[in-house]
Amino acid sequence: MIRRSTWWAAAAGLLLAGPAAAQPAALPPPYQGAYQPHGVDEIGLWHEADEEERQLAASPLRIRDERLTGYVTSVLCATVGDDRCGSVRVYVIRAPMFNASMTPNGTMRVYSGLLLRLRNEAELATVLGHEFGHYERRHTLAAFKERRSGTDAVAWMALLTSLGASYQTMQNFQNFQLAVYGGFFRHGRDQEREADKLGIAYLNRSSLRPQSATVVWQHMMAEAEASASAKGLKKPNFRYIAFAASHPPYAERAAYLAELAAPDGADRDDGTERYRAALAPFLAQFLDDQIKLNDFGASEYLIQNLATAGWTATLWLKRGDLYRTRGAPRDLAAAADFYAHAVQLDPTLAEAHRGLGLSLMKTGRPSEAVAPLQTYLRLRPDAVDAGMIQTIIPGGPQ
Amino acid sequence: MTRHRTLRRMLAFAAIAALPLPANAHKLAEKGTPVTIADSTLSVTPTRDWNRLSGRIGAHAERWTLDGEQLNDVTFYAGVAPGEPLLRERSKKKDPLPKFRQDMLLAEVPELLERTYRTGRDARDFQLSGAAPGKFLGRDGVTFAYQVTDSEGLIRKGEARAAAVNGKLYLVTFDAPRLHYFDQVVDDARALMGSATL
């Protein structure tokens, strides 16, 4: 017992010594004016972030659309205020996952998969405010310092352990190491909670509806459930915190965001119409990126969600693609039906005719498949797969 | 969300550290000597020396390269049975890959490859630039070309040939960065693909 407590005292001393010595004087916030980083750590992180931003700006995955980028930036400004948002550069990235991130130098990355999943401006503001919170509180810098002092302590402990190696000291060392690493992850989750709280505080002060914040996580849970159910997995546990979890669990976030939303904001506008209008030109592509991920449950959930505003030819087409590519006989019959709806709403939608023809072909109705496939070729005489489609039209060129 | 990237880097680093030493990892396929692919009945006769990579990325897949698979990659998928994916699945239950299906039309094979690349290789964009009927293994098949962008933003060009034989899919792809590498090797890759027989 005595020996163990000595170890822990030494370890605690090492852990405390690091950050205490490096405590800087209060710095201006990073969004103020043309802020310049202070101290080697911050300068280093900004340098790295500048380099990454240079690559990002030139990346083919960046969606170079001034209107979309401008729209996301305007929502950020409406959330955190014009005085703060001027320090941020927004980049919309083509990546089909729910994510956004912010680096210490003010680079905001917003993934297309996030935009596909959100339903209104207030939900977008929730995520943007959260990311801005990380930036405002210099979370990356704090996490870097924490990791450095923690790994320093582990290294010293390893040295001390090797001096008095015994089964018990090794055991103590391993426990210590686990505690330090677990601490990194816990610290990360605490930062996420802090960013969530800052985000909702911004939303409360904005003209948008703060009650939408909790809805983001409710939908994430529903989507995860739909995904798991279609894969035959058991329902995910939304309260469980894994050792290495980077974020608090969905249920916890949904609960505290609901609690922290200002009640008097409940009847504010959530900007659904503006959001839909801004996203409309990109919806087909973002949805296409999603349905090709082979996650049937999540994709179907997202399509159903988008369809609450009314079924469009694009939604029917993508739903048809989703079912046809899963490809069970019942899926093919359903796909043919969905494509038929798409064609009805927009007879010029070439891909829907193609999908309809292929689905009918595979459900044993080749004679019915001829007309839609021919329509596809008529609408798209220069389609890249025209030659292939020609060969499968019964009676067509072999 | 900000430290997602850092964590990924740490994991990538750990993965690299855990790799076994590549002693005798790869074999040489010599010019003019027929080689059987992935213990199947598919064989090819290279017109120049190629490296056969030893890592099995799929039950029926074999990868060939000249300068490393990132720079030029000929992958054979030799006899994928209905219900099987092209690549090995990281998790059959959680991250299933798209499967080849008995009733799949040849016109749908490019979609199968696209969905496999997006799911199994994290491809962010896949543009089909051509798909036309073409002979492969002496059968009616499909020849198609594409351009794929990976998660790092690198753009590769690709060309593939496929045919279904006795209900199984035979597919061979050639992928290389659009800049320089594709054009540099495409003739050798076409010769290799064209030499495939059953």
Cα separation, A112 vs A105, whole angstroms: 22
Average pLDDT, chain B: 89
Confidence band of A291 (pLDDT split at 50, 70, 90):
very high
pLDDT at B16: 62
Does residue A277 form part of some domain? no
CA-CA-CA-CA torsion sign (A319, A321, A327, A333): positive
Contact residues on chain A for B94, CB-CB shorter than 8 A: 231, 233
Domain CATH for B59: 3.40.1000.10
Contact B104/A at CB under 8 A = yes
A347 CA to chain B: closest CA distance, Å? 22
Region A280-301: mean pLDDT is 96
Of B97, B114, B153, the CB nearest to A59: B153
Long-range contacts of A390-393 (CB under 8 A, 24+ apart): A391/B106, A391/B107, A391/B133, A391/B140, A392/A358, A392/A361, A392/B105, A392/B106, A392/B107, A393/A369
Closest among B78, B28, B21 to B53, alpha carbons compared: B28
Closest alpha carbon to A71 in A106, A98, A110 = A110
A and B: number of Cβ contacts within 8 A: 107
- Answer yes or no: do A385 and B131 touch at CB < 8 A: yes
Q: Could you report the per-residue pLDDT of B26-42, keeping only the tens digit for each?
A: 888 888 888 888 888 88
Q: What is the pLDDT of residue B10?
A: 67
Please give the pLDDT value at position B56.
86
Residue A22 predicted with pLDDT over 60: no
Asked, for residue B4, whether it belongs to a domain, the answer is: no
Residues in B closer than 8 angstroms to A99, CB to CB, are 1, 4
B172 lies in which domain range? 26-194
In chain A, what percentage of residues exceed pLDDT 70? 92
Measure A232 CA to nearest chain B CA, in Å.
Answer: 8
The predicted pLDDT at position B27 comes to 87
Inter-chain residue contact A392 with B142, CB threshold 8 Å: no
In a domain, B7, yes or no: no
Mean pLDDT computed over A136-158 = 94
The residue length of chain B stands at: 198
Would you state the pLDDT for residue A179? 94
Residue A11 pLDDT more than 80?
no
A98 in a domain, yes or no? yes
Domain enclosing residue A316, as ranges: 282-392
Q: Does B14 touch chain A (CB under 8 A)?
A: no
Residues B174-189: b if buried by 16+ CB within 10 A, e if exposed: bbbbeeebbeebeebb
pLDDT at residue A16, rounded to an integer:
46
Is the confidence at residue B52, as pLDDT, over 50?
A: yes
Is residue A302 situated within a structural domain? yes
Please check whether residue B49 is in contact with residue B61, taking contact to mean a CB–CB distance below 8 angstroms. Answer: no
The verdict on A259 and A367 lying in the same domain is no
Is residue A398 one of the residues assigned to a domain?
no
Q: State whether A257 and A304 are in the same domain.
A: no
Judge whether A137 lies within some domain.
Answer: yes
Confidence check: pLDDT of B24 > 80: no
Which residue in the set A140, A231, A325 is minimally distant from B93, CB to CB?
A231
Q: Name the strand (E) or helix (H) holding A94.
A: none
Chain B residue with the nearest C-alpha to that of A188 = B3
Q: What pLDDT, on the 0 to 100 scale, is given for residue B55?
A: 84
Instruction: Look up tokens 């850092």; give the residue.
Output: B6
Which residue of A100, A130, A188 is in closest CB contact with B3? A188
Residues making up chain A, counted from first to last? 398
Q: Does any domain span residue A338?
A: yes
Residues of A in contact with B126 (CB under 8 A): 292
Indicate whether A130 and A196 sit together in one domain: yes
Together in a domain, A150 and A42: yes
Among all residues of chain B, which has the CA nearest to that of A57?
B153
Cβ within 8 Å, pair B2-A388: no
Query: ipTM of this predicted complex?
Result: 0.85
Distance CA(A53)–CA(A103), nearest Å, equals 9
The lowest-confidence range among A20-34, A244-258, A285-299 is: A20-34
A367 and A241 share one domain: no
Do residues A156 and A121 share a domain?
Answer: yes
Q: Are residues A72 and A120 in the same domain?
A: yes
Beta bridge partners of B130: B145
Cβ-Cβ contacts under 8 Å, B140 against chain A: 391
pLDDT of residue B8: 67
- How large is the average pLDDT for residues A107-122? 96
Residues A260 and A309 in one domain: no
Smallest CA-to-CA distance from B104 within A393, A332, A350, A370 is with: A332
Residues A212 and A354 in one domain: no
Best CA proximity match to A75, nearest among A41, A111, A124: A124
In-domain check, residue B103: yes
Contact residues on chain A for B132, CB-CB shorter than 8 A: 387-388
> Which residues share a beta bridge with B50?
B29
List pLDDT tens digits, range A191-226. 999 999 999 999 999 999 999 999 999 999 999 999
pLDDT of residue A23: 55
- A125 pLDDT band, cuts 50/70/90, is very high
Which of chain B's residues have a Cβ under 8 Å away from the Cβ of A101?
1-2, 4-5
Last residue of a domain, one of A230, A265, A300: A265
Please report whether residue B42 resides in a domain.
yes
Cβ partners under 8 Å of residue A304, min gap 6: none
Measured between beta carbons, the chain B residues lying within 8 angstroms of A102 are 1-2
Chain A residue closest to B120 (CA)?
A293
From chain A, the residues in CB contact with B128 under 8 A are 384-385
| DSSP β-bridge partners for residue B77 | B61, B171
Scanning chain A, the segments in alpha helix (DSSP H) are 2-21, 39-58, 66-80, 82-85, 112-117, 121-136, 139-163, 167-205, 212-230, 250-260, 272-279, 283-291, 296-306, 313-326, 329-345, 350-362, 366-379, 386-392
Q: Is the pLDDT of residue A112 over 70?
A: yes
User: A383 and A244, same structural domain?
Assistant: no
Interface of B with A in 116-155 (CB under 8 A): 118-119, 124-126, 128-133, 140, 142, 144, 149, 151, 153, 155
Q: Does some domain include residue B17? A: no
Indicate whether A345 belongs to any domain.
yes
Confidence label for A20 from pLDDT (cuts 50, 70 and 90): very low
Q: What is the structure's pLDDT at A290?
A: 96
pLDDT in tens, A49-66: 999 999 999 999 999 999
3-state secondary structure chain B: CCCHHHHHHHHHHHHHHCCCCCCCCCEEECCCCCEECCCCCCEECCCCCEEEECCCCCCCEEEEECCCCCCCEEEEEEEECCCCECCCCCECCCECCCECCCCCCHHHHHHHHHHHHHHHCCCCEEEEEEEEEEEECCEEEEEEEEEEECCCCCEEEEEEEEEEECCEEEEEEEEEECCCHHHHHHHHHHHHHHCCEC
Model confidence over B162-182: pLDDT tens digits?
Answer: 999 999 999 999 999 999 999
Asked whether residue A127 is assigned to any structural domain, the reply reads yes
* Nearest residue in chain B measured CA to CA from A288: B125
CA distance to partner chain B, nearest, from residue A61 (Å): 6
Chain A residues touching B114 at Cβ < 8 A: 292
Tell me which chain B residue has its CA closest to the CA of residue A332. Answer: B103
Domain total for chain A? 2
Contact state of B105 with A60 under an 8 Å Cβ cutoff: no
* pLDDT band with cut points at 50, 70 and 90 for residue A24: low
Domain boundary among the residues A265, A293, A317 is at A265
Residues A133 and A9 in one domain: yes
- B128 within a domain of the structure (yes/no): yes
- Has residue B170 been placed in a domain? yes
Same domain, A249 and A286: no
In a domain, B106, yes or no: yes
Q: Between residues A12 and B103, which one has the greater pLDDT?
A: B103
| End-of-domain residue from the set A265, A290, A307 | A265
C-alpha A32/C-alpha A78 separation (Å) is 17
> Over chain A, what is the mean pLDDT?
91
Q: What are the chain A neighbours of B86 within 8 Å (beta carbons)?
A: none
Q: Closest by alpha carbon to B5, among A136, A149, A152, A246? A: A246
Confidence label for A1 from pLDDT (cuts 50, 70 and 90): very low
pLDDT (tens digit per residue) in A235-281: 999 999 888 899 999 999 999 999 999 999 999 999 999 999 999 99
Provide the number of structural domains found in chain B.
1
Per-residue model confidence (pLDDT) at position B180: 94
pLDDT at A393: 83
